[in-house]
Amino acid sequence: MKFFIDTANLDEIREAYDLGVLDGVTTNPSLMAKEGISGDANVKAHYKAICDIVDDKVSAEVISTDFDGMIKEGKELAKIDDKIVVKIPMIKDGVKALKYFHSEGIRTNCTLVFSAGQAILAAKAGASYLSPFIGRLDDISYDGLELIGQISHIYQNYGFETEILAASVRHTMHLIKCAEIGADVVTCPLKVITGLLKHPLTDSGLAQFLADHAKAAGK
Ligand code: E4P
């Protein structure tokens, strides 16, 4: 299972990378805006800065919603660095763009996926990654994890090569359940990755070991 961090914050990306378990980064226009990044040159420079931190797979999202615009923008994004994966929304022209980039050997991440039907379309169009948003489905009383299981089953039926990238992951149990179901990748905030570390028995056990060691050393 791969871990991607879902942020445009360089400090958080560095922290996750330094932990040694990071496989990539996903961003979106809202996350870029949160960091105060705007304007074509600044946006591209920020993507480059992210690429310089990690080993591979940095999702950079197009803003255009028409085919020609997405192709132009996607090609420009892909030129920033070999690590860039062009993020394309699940809309009609987006499906055409996925197909185009597949034929050009440019990796894509199909975003804003909320149904199995959309997942089938993206896989048939040759998306490299598929991002079902599980937290946003949970928010409106649909079962996001159930969708991951459904897509996983469909992709196995037909041997689709598109990797399931569980997105909108809000907490550690989302991540663990995605691992049980067999999602290829999970993208989540730093606190979800570091949250996996936590267990009270680890903390109390370590405190006891250190106290016993100090006691013995003091004899
Ligand atoms: C994924 O690519 C998206 O950037 C992200 O996971 C959305 O998460 P949110 O629903 O917490 O905004």
Centroid of ligand 1 to alpha carbon of 136 (angstroms): 8
Q: Mind listing the pLDDT tens digit for each residue in 97-126?
A: 999 999 999 999 999 999 999 999 999 999
Centroid of ligand 1 to alpha carbon of 54 (angstroms): 19
Residues marked active site are found at 87
Can you give the pLDDT at residue 219?
64
Distances (CA, A) of 160 to 30, 102, 122, 147: 30, 14, 10, 16
Please indicate whether residue 61, judged by its CB atom, sits closer than 6 Å to ligand 1. Answer: no
Residue 169 has pLDDT above 80, yes or no: yes
Distances (CA, A) of 6 to 2, 28, 74, 92, 197: 13, 8, 20, 25, 18
Residue 74 has pLDDT above 90, yes or no: yes
ipTM above 0.95, yes or no: yes
Please indicate whether residue 109, judged by its CB atom, sits closer than 6 Å to ligand 1. Answer: no
Please indicate whether residue 118, judged by its CB atom, sits closer than 6 Å to ligand 1. Answer: no
Pocket test for ligand 1, best of 27, 28, 30 (most atoms within 8 A of CB): 28
Domains of the chain: which residue ranges? 2-218
Q: Mind listing the pLDDT tens digit for each residue in 176-187?
A: 999 999 999 999
Out of 3.30.930.10, 3.40.50.150, 3.20.20.70, 2.40.33.10, the CATH code matching 2-218 is 3.20.20.70
Q: pLDDT-derived band of residue 218, with 50, 70 and 90 as boundaries? A: confident
Please indicate whether residue 168, judged by its CB atom, sits closer than 6 Å to ligand 1. Answer: yes
Centroid of ligand 1 to alpha carbon of 185 (angstroms): 13
Percent of the chain with pLDDT over 90: 99
Sign of torsion, CA 27 32 35 39? positive
